[in-house]
Structure 1
Amino acid sequence: MHKQIIFSILCLIPVIVPAQASYNRDRLQQFFQNQEYEQSLAYLKTVPAPDNEQYLFDLGYACYMNEDFKQARSVFTALYQKNGSLPAPQIYLASIHNMNREPDSALFYYKNLTRLFPEQYKYWQAAAAAWYLLKKNDSAIACIRKSYELKPTAGKVVYDYCTYLSGAKQKNQAEQLIDQFLRFDTTYAPIIGKKVNLSFTAGRYSEAVAWGERLRSRDVAPAELLSSYINLLFSYLNLKRPDSVISVYNWLLLQDANNESAAYGAALAFAMKKEYAVSDSLLTECIGFNIQEMAATYYRAKAGNAVAVQNYTRAVALYDTSYYLFKDLLDLYQAGSVLHRFLKNNTRATAYYKRFLQVCPHPKTDEEATITRYIKEFLSPQKK
């Protein structure tokens, strides 16, 4: 990943100032072209080390491509100190700092590159990414805006710009940029994916479906844009189109991209079709994915299926298990509600309701306050 980024940046300008060397650069270039980086490093270590910039760059590059980043950093630092106007050593030094999760150190070089080459949009883009990692959104937006001004047709720049704007809660402006980009280019999949996500978040499910299916028709790998495909699936669910939900889910299975969210959406779709056994099987799969926060939701969905098929005793057991595992007050209320409304067992319902009041003497949310009022009204005749 870092090597690809560096290569794209280095394509902008010459790597180094031409210099005479006491070693055979044609032979070295052959090693590089054939990706024989171990041989290139071995060769450089056998020849006399000339005191020039080209040799230092070649040595640093060979070390970097052999993943000897410590030595590469040392060599590129020496080259930078020798000539601080060369872009190549600064690009590699910034990349090494990024790999070491040191965005502040990487930013030092990116800022210097934007001063030396203010017309090169990729340096502004790289600086923006470093600012974003440092959680400095305003600075990230300022840099990516400059990059966008220099190259508004670059899909990755538009994508990054939208990401930073969304992070700053400027989603309307982000979507305007996307719409403007899509007017002349509908081939860049990450932008289409971003359009799907923004449409879904805004509740425009039909629009999310239109763009999501365009993405799917191109067989863009789900691994790269999984969130967009999940939002496509849930858009169909919100539009009450369970067969389309299941179609997307099955397609994800074929792409080896099944996950917890996809299985949950499919489970809800099968429940919508009253195929509760299949729904329960998928919800069990969801619980297997995650026995933490979201698992309580899956237990409740299974309980909802049990209520739908009038298996009320099983529904109570599922709510009870969910409360035992996750201690969510809502499960106590739901268990009591099923006992009261369907099984007409007010004695057991009262036990669950009283437990709710004991655990929650002072409601903290509107939902808890509403449930508390209901329970107190239910219990009051029994207290007389």
Structure 2
Amino acid sequence: MRKLSCVIITLIFQMGRVTAQSPVLDKNKVMDFFQNMQYEEAISYLLTAEKMDSVNLQTLGYLGYAYQQNDDLNNASKYYQKMLDVDSGNGSANLYFSSLYSDDEPAKARQYMIRLITSNPKKAGFYRKMGDLFRRENKKDSAFVYYEQAFRLSPYDSKNGAALADLLIDQKDYQRADSIIEDGLARDSVSVPYLKLQVKSSYEAAAYQKVIVPGERLMRLGEGSLSTFTQVVLSYYIMNQYRDCIRVCDYLVAKGMAGENIFYYAAKSYAKLREFEKSNELLKTCLGLAISTTAEYYFHALGDNYEELKQYKKAFAQYDTAYYLFKDPLMLYDCGRIQDQYLKNEDAAKKYYSKYLLFAKPQSTDEKKAYNYIRKKYLKEK
């Protein structure tokens, strides 16, 4: 809850300068309490001042802040509300409540933010925060209106440009988003928010080559998020640049940012380079991290690698385990194929093929061809 303090502390202290100071309040003493984090002492002192002047905004604001820093949000809210009872347009109190409700009740938070905008119609940051509140409820059209106004008022503030560009990417308006991002990077070539958005825009527009420059720059800066670097990893993989894909994966592992999908694409890259032993080690790591049905892909990939290594019994075991755990009929086909083509066990192959024909629901062209081949083969035998 202390996150609220960073947002409003400046306004509270500014309020202390513009509000008539209580004749019984020593502002320097209050500042000393705050500087030394003596919030209990500050509260005790301020409550005495409040008894003598219960509507003084400076005293009420300091009490709200002291309770907030003391992790007593009930009393903090009580005193900020008292400020609004005296002055409904008070900036500190409205900003406090808009921040307090922003995560769980964005609609309620907007009621306070609109007061701030009304009192400060040229402050870009308030429009951007209003846009954030609408976006939390997925009201993108309304969010766009406020982001656009924030950007219009202060186009050189990267927070405003980044918020608008991010929403434009979601709306697939890549051309305008890229224009804002490029202008921002022309002013600051190492702006992390703009570099991350450049990766996102290029990746979602399937312009994978354009992902590389901002992605590599973020790596040199030691910045970025897992989602951003996952898009860099996938771009290298899609472009068949497997060594670079592995290099970015290694960077994420060293940073402690790697999840199972990162190990998976490193494993797939090693497999493409025919380094199957390394691939298998990483796939086993994936299995240790896996949750839900994503583990099926890892068993299947392990099976593929063991086939390439001509270790057919191990390949069969991976496909068989995948079917046992996840009941995908295609795994039965692979089991039958291994028994038929490599292990030369016709009875076992028939068992798996027959079960496959019973449960299969072929979707892709390749699977339909395989299904029809097996079906015709067994119908012919019968």
- TM-score (ref. length: structure 2): 0.89
Give the counterpart letter for 2:268 in structure 1. Answer: L
Aligned twin of 1:261: 261
**Larger CA deviation: 136-145 vs 158-167:** 158-167
Is 1:85 aligned to residue 86 of structure 2? no
Instruction: Tell me the C-alpha RMSD between the 2 structures.
Output: 2.6
Deviation at 1:257, TM superposition (A): 2.0
Q: Which one of the candidate residues 155, 161, 166 is aligned to 1:163?
A: 166
Deviation at 1:370, TM superposition (A): 5.3
Give the counterpart letter for 1:382 in structure 2. Answer: E
Give the counterpart letter for 1:316 in structure 2. Answer: F
- Whole-angstrom distance in 1 between the partners of 2:320 and 2:174: 41
Is the Cα–Cα contact under 8 Å of residues 4 and 96 in structure 2 kept in the other structure? no
Deviation at 1:176, TM superposition (A): 3.4
Aligned twin of 1:103: 106
Give the counterpart letter for 1:85 in structure 2. Answer: G
Give the counterpart letter for 1:326 in structure 2. Answer: F
Deviation at 1:47, TM superposition (A): 4.0
Deviation at 1:89, TM superposition (A): 0.3
Deviations 1:130-154 (A, max 9, x none): 1111121111111111111111222
Report percent identity of matched pairs: 28
Is 1:117 aligned to residue 116 of structure 2? no
Is 1:6 aligned to residue 7 of structure 2? yes
Q: For the structure 1 residues 55 and 238, does the alpha-carbon distance in structure 2 shift closer, same or farther, using more than 3 Å as the test?
A: same
Aligned twin of 1:239: 239
Deviation at 1:73, TM superposition (A): 1.4
**Larger CA deviation: 337-346 vs 363-372:** 363-372
Aligned twin of 1:180: 183
Aligned twin of 1:20: 21
Aligned twin of 2:43: 41
Aligned twin of 1:195: 198
Is the Cα–Cα contact under 8 Å of residues 9 and 122 in structure 1 kept in the other structure? no
Q: For the structure 1 residues 277 and 301, does the alpha-carbon distance in structure 2 shift closer, same or farther, using more than 3 Å as the test?
A: same
Aligned twin of 1:136: 139
Secondary structure (helix, strand or coil) at the match of 2:285 reads helix
Deviation at 1:129, TM superposition (A): 0.9
Deviations 1:100-138 (A, max 9, x none): x11111111112222222211111111111111112111
- TM-score (ref. length: structure 1): 0.88
- Whole-angstrom distance in 2 between the partners of 1:157 and 1:238: 32
Secondary structure (helix, strand or coil) at the match of 1:15 reads helix
Deviation at 1:367, TM superposition (A): 6.9
**Larger CA deviation: 297-306 vs 272-281:** 272-281
Is the Cα–Cα contact under 8 Å of residues 9 and 65 in structure 2 kept in the other structure? no
Deviation at 1:188, TM superposition (A): 1.6
Q: Provide structure 2 residue ranges, at least 5 long, that are not aligned to the other structure.
A: none
Q: For the structure 1 residues 206 and 83, does the alpha-carbon distance in structure 2 shift closer, same or farther, using more than 3 Å as the test?
A: same
Is the Cα–Cα contact under 8 Å of residues 249 and 258 in structure 2 kept in the other structure? yes
Is 1:379 aligned to residue 350 of structure 2? no
Deviations 1:198-237 (A, max 9, x none): 22333333321211111111122x5xx1222222223222
- Whole-angstrom distance in 2 between the partners of 1:301 and 1:108: 53
- Whole-angstrom distance in 2 between the partners of 1:76 and 1:235: 50
Give the counterpart letter for 1:78 in structure 2. Answer: K
Q: For the structure 1 residues 177 and 95, does the alpha-carbon distance in structure 2 shift closer, same or farther, using more than 3 Å as the test?
A: same
Aligned twin of 1:304: 304
Is the Cα–Cα contact under 8 Å of residues 73 and 96 in structure 1 kept in the other structure? no
Q: Provide structure 1 residue ranges, at least 5 long, that are not aligned to the other structure.
A: none
Count of residue pairs brought into register by the alignment: 377
Deviation at 1:7, TM superposition (A): 4.6
Give the counterpart letter for 2:380 in structure 1. Answer: P
Alignment of 1:327-346 (within 5 A): 327-346=327-346
Give the counterpart letter for 2:124 in structure 1. Answer: Y
- Whole-angstrom distance in 2 between the partners of 1:347 and 1:257: 47
Deviation at 1:93, TM superposition (A): 0.8
Secondary structure (helix, strand or coil) at the match of 1:191 reads helix
**Larger CA deviation: 53-62 vs 266-275:** 266-275
